[in-house]
Amino acid sequence: MSQVFDLLIVGGGVTGSALLYLTSRYTDIRHIGMLEKYAAPARVNSLHSNNSQTLHCGDIETNYSLEKALKVQRAARMVENYATVQPDIDHLIFKYPKMVLGVGARECQQLRERFDMLSPHYPNLQLLGPEDIQRIEPAVAESKGGMRADEIIALGSENEYTAVNFEALARSFVRQARRIEGTVVDVRYNRQVAHIKKVGERFIVDTGEEVFEARSIVVCAGGHSLKLAHDLGYGHHFSVLPVAGSYYFTPQVLRGKVYTVQNDKLPFAAIHGDPDVMVPGKTRWGPTALVLPVLERYNWDTLKDFLMVFKFDRKVWDVLYDLLKVTDIRNYMLKNFLFEVPILRRMLFLKDARKIVPDLKYKDLKFAHHVGGIRPQLIDKDHRKLMMGEAKIDTGAGAIFNMTPSPGATCCLENAEVDMRKVAEFLGATVDEEAFAADLLGSDHRHAIEDLPMHFISGDDAA
Ligand SMILES: Cc1cc2nc3c(=O)[nH]c(=O)nc-3n(C[C@H](O)[C@H](O)[C@H](O)COP(=O)(O)OP(=O)(O)OC[C@H]3O[C@@H](n4cnc5c(N)ncnc54)[C@H](O)[C@@H]3O)c2cc1C
């Protein structure tokens, strides 16, 4: 046994590194470690090119209920409160106009009703008519030299933080955590955890070459979290459905983020177009939603990991069958499969993208190779359903496992807050509530634990 940690975090994406930062900055937990499989933080879904870089605030996401919107709003503010006081703010968080566009009478009416519901909670949210849309995003409102013919309306704002480089954010968390005096923060890269077991009161974390001991563990390893939970004997009634997202690039036609209204029958968000914070001069379109049998995009070595957690059986089949029997979902899945077929994919995707920019041209659309990650959606076998949003298995015995599809990056600090409190309670440590609230919550006094923005599974349910 080479090390004994009070807390050992597995996975150095934005979720794990946010927890590393919070526990070292705001608790008296003294010996904290983080093991990351790759040579740097955030190389998987938190990588700048693998997600949509959107700070989800809940105001333009038509697939969120009011309750979920307000929970996400709190989480987004925490990220904003952290990022805007960092010396490298310009690498972390970005202001662009944002809007959700309604096209046709039904969607426009839906957005008017949504505005009435949301505006008391979002003072900067505006209901935008065609001329406002034209001023902010001319390519959306215009077509063939005039205004587009179909009815349009949008909900949006112009001067807010709307995009984050979550990879840079993860690096910032690690850098800041390492600077804190009085706490041992031990970050090890190139350490892939193969097994976790419990011996007495201690967790034994095995990378194959080294073995670490810990009093508590939090696993933030995306889809691999479920594999490690299974290894320790938890969460066997969950399977995972990995949903890959691909993107396309065009020359820059949009100034900001333009989302579209969600089809309620579909489990995944409709495509949007926006600037890529790392690729100036282009507009990025997507993501698509393709089910793939891997836990990491473009890494076929994770096929065997997928097979280990997928555990295909009658219950998994029932959930998939329930999805496939809905015509809209079936067509959507087929369309997303065709989005990956060269030549055909550009023609099909163009049709969807033209809902946002009617005059977009086929020749301008390019598939973005090696861009886009995987959303590890959980399948709850007992309740026969596909779970949307983030999921957490809290064993109540010092081990927590996080599975983090969208909007997991926006919720990194709030998710870490929940884990920080649970780990502190388990270890008998204290949280510096005053400093935490002053730095990250500002005037927002809502509590995260009571208002969890995620599926929360207790140890009893999970084991
Ligand atoms: C297409 C797409 C678009 C998205 N858009 C948005 C968006 O706009 N806004 C938003 O808020 N969210 C978005 N998300 C979700 C967001 O990307 C994720 O919620 C977030 O990045 C998850 O962070 P994480 O740290 O939990 O996981 P990851 O970033 O995947 O990190 C997991 C880490 O664990 C490590 N790891 C895995 N296994 C092991 C092991 N055995 N041992 C050691 N380390 C291990 C990996 O190397 C990795 O570094 C999107 C996701 C996708 C796929």
Q: What is the pLDDT of residues 253-288, one digit of tens each?
A: 999 999 999 887 777 778 999 999 999 999 999 999
pLDDT per residue over 111-150, tens digit each?
Answer: 999 999 999 999 999 999 999 999 999 999 999 999 999 9
Distance, CA 31 to ligand 1 centroid (Å)? 25
CA distances from 182 to 25, 29, 229, 256, 459 (A): 10, 10, 31, 43, 32
pLDDT at residue 460, as a whole number? 37
What CATH number does the domain containing 188 carry?
3.50.50.60
Q: Quick check: 163 and 257 in contact, CB under 8 A?
A: yes
**Residue 336 CB–ligand 1 contact under 6 Å:** no
Dist CA 54 CA 330 (whole Å): 27
**Residue 46 CB–ligand 1 contact under 6 Å:** yes
Query: Of all protein residues, whose CA lies closest to atom 19 belonging to ligand 1?
Result: 408
Q: Which residues pair with 5 in a beta bridge?
A: 214
Residue 326 lies in a domain: no
Q: Half-sphere exposure of 76 toward its Cβ, with a 13 Å CA cutoff?
A: 23
Distance, CA 112 to ligand 1 centroid (Å)? 34
Let me know whether 104 and 41 are in one domain: no
Let me know whether 177 and 149 are in one domain: no
The two tokens of residue 185 are: 């923060």
**Residue 35 CB–ligand 1 contact under 6 Å:** yes
Distance, CA 57 to ligand 1 centroid (Å)? 19
- For 183-221, letters b (16+ CB in 10 Å) and e give bebbbeeebebeebeeeeebbbbebeeeebebbbbbbbb
* Boundary residue ending a domain (126, 158, 190): 158
Q: How confident is the model at residue 461 (pLDDT cuts 50, 70, 90)?
A: very low
Residue 423 lies in a domain: yes
pLDDT per residue over 47-76, tens digit each?
Answer: 999 999 999 999 999 989 999 999 999 999
For residue 34, report the phi and psi dihedrals to the nearest 5 degrees.
Answer: -140, 130
Let me know whether 213 and 183 are in one domain: yes
pLDDT at residue 333, as a whole number? 86
Looking at per-residue pLDDT, the higher value among 177 and 324 belongs to 177
Residue 428 lies in a domain: yes
Let me know whether 445 and 425 are in one domain: yes
* 370 CB burial (10 A radius; 0-12, 13-18, 19+): exposed
Residue 255 lies in a domain: no
Let me know whether 153 and 171 are in one domain: no
Q: What percent of the chain has pLDDT over 90?
A: 83
The two tokens of residue 265 are: 């029958």
pLDDT at residue 453, as a whole number? 43
Residue 85 lies in a domain: no
The two tokens of residue 348 are: 């099909």
pLDDT at residue 326, as a whole number? 86
pLDDT at residue 448, as a whole number? 66
If one residue of 406, 413, 415, 419 were mutated to test the ligand 1 pocket, choosing by the most ligand atoms within 8 A of its CB, it would be 406
pLDDT at residue 204, as a whole number? 97
Distance, CA 358 to ligand 1 centroid (Å)? 33
pLDDT beyond 70 at 2? no
Q: How confident is the model at residue 1 (pLDDT cuts 50, 70, 90)?
A: very low
Q: How confident is the model at residue 390 (pLDDT cuts 50, 70, 90)?
A: confident
- Helix (H) or strand (E) run with residue 402 in it: strand 399-403
pLDDT per residue over 71-93, tens digit each?
Answer: 999 999 999 999 999 999 999 99
Mean pLDDT in the chain?
93
Let me know whether 392 and 456 are in one domain: yes
* Nearest atom within ligand 1 for CA of residue 390: 19
pLDDT beyond 70 at 248? yes
Dist CA 271 CA 327 (whole Å): 19
Residue 34 lies in a domain: yes
Domain encompassing residue 16: 3-48+166-237+386-462
Q: Looking at 184-193, 216-225, 227-236, 328-337, which range is the least confident one?
A: 328-337
Mean pLDDT for the stretch of residues 334-359: 90
Residue 413 lies in a domain: yes
Query: Of all protein residues, whose CA lies closest to atom 31 belonging to ligand 1?
Result: 13
Q: How confident is the model at residue 337 (pLDDT cuts 50, 70, 90)?
A: confident
pLDDT beyond 60 at 451? no
Let me know whether 439 and 390 are in one domain: yes
Let me know whether 404 and 450 are in one domain: yes
pTM of the model: 0.95
Let me know whether 151 and 217 are in one domain: no
Residue 180 one-letter amino acid: I
